[in-house]
Amino acid sequence: MKILVCISHVPDTTSKINFTDGDTKFDTNGVQFVINPNDEFGLTRAMWFKEKQGASVDVVNVGGPETEPTLRKALAIGADAAFRVNTAAKDGYQVAKELAKVVQDGSYDLIIAGRESIDYNGGMVPGMLAGILKANFVNNCISLEVEGDKATAIREIDGGKETLTASLPLVIGGQKGLVEESDLKIPNMRGIMQARKKPLNIIEPSESDMATEAVKFEKPEPKGAVKLIDPDNLDELINLLHNEAKAI
């Protein structure tokens, strides 16, 4: 089984976010980047298939040279090879088109992506990728087993869970639950050294059109100051909740 894991290069959740050029571009100065958490769950599940079933695991990213440390981390975790499509990821449709070409050229059986990236939270790429490939698709996936050319997946739905079966090729939009957080792998020194010798292939982009364009970014309003109320002064607390916070 050939598995391709789609990796997004995203800011660490503790990063302080700012914008430049009239709030039209993300300011990367001083920002630490990591593997998108939803993608990391998928990568860990792919490594399970490699260890238990002998699957081959490649990783792919759409982005510039600055994303290569993230791909190297994925290689250190255990992926066999990495691919970087040499263009900035500006639009979900554009990214899906570029990823589809990599999938078609590599004849992959299982494509694992995160259900969304934590920077733009678009949640579009896995579904559009499956549509372009005309492949089966399971989103919000929290469990995945593969036997032969058949997969059994569990996904979250409103009010519960749904179990599905599908044939390969299959695209997965994974999330927390696909593996436990305790199962996430931290690269060890041996893996880091081996990653230096593994192939990181640069692919020139196709002429993919963008369907959307970011016009402006806006940060949420800062939170107001906290008011501390004496625990014995319940009347003042009720008054503030009723007349100021409008909570009751």
d(CA 166, CA 151) in angstroms, rounded, equals 5
CA-to-CA separations, 199 to 10, 74, 164, in angstroms, rounded: 22, 12, 35
Superfamily grouping for domain 2-219: HUPs (3.40.50.620)
3-class secondary structure, 105: helix
Digit-coded pLDDT (tens) for 49-101: 999 999 999 999 999 999 999 999 999 999 999 999 999 998 999 999 999 99
CB 208 within 8 A of CB 125: no
At 97 the pLDDT is 95
Write down the domain spans for the chain. 2-219
d(CA 101, CA 105) in angstroms, rounded, equals 6
3-class secondary structure, 199: coil
At 225 the pLDDT is 81
At 154 the pLDDT is 96
CA neighbours closer than 13 Å in the CB half-sphere of residue 38: 24
Q: List the pLDDT tens digit at each of the 248 positions of the chain.
A: 999 999 999 999 888 889 999 888 888 888 999 999 999 999 999 999 999 999 999 999 999 999 999 999 999 999 999 999 999 998 999 999 999 999 999 999 999 999 999 888 889 999 999 999 999 999 999 999 999 999 999 999 999 999 999 999 999 999 999 999 989 988 889 999 999 999 999 999 987 788 888 889 988 888 878 888 888 888 888 888 888 888 88
At 208 the pLDDT is 75
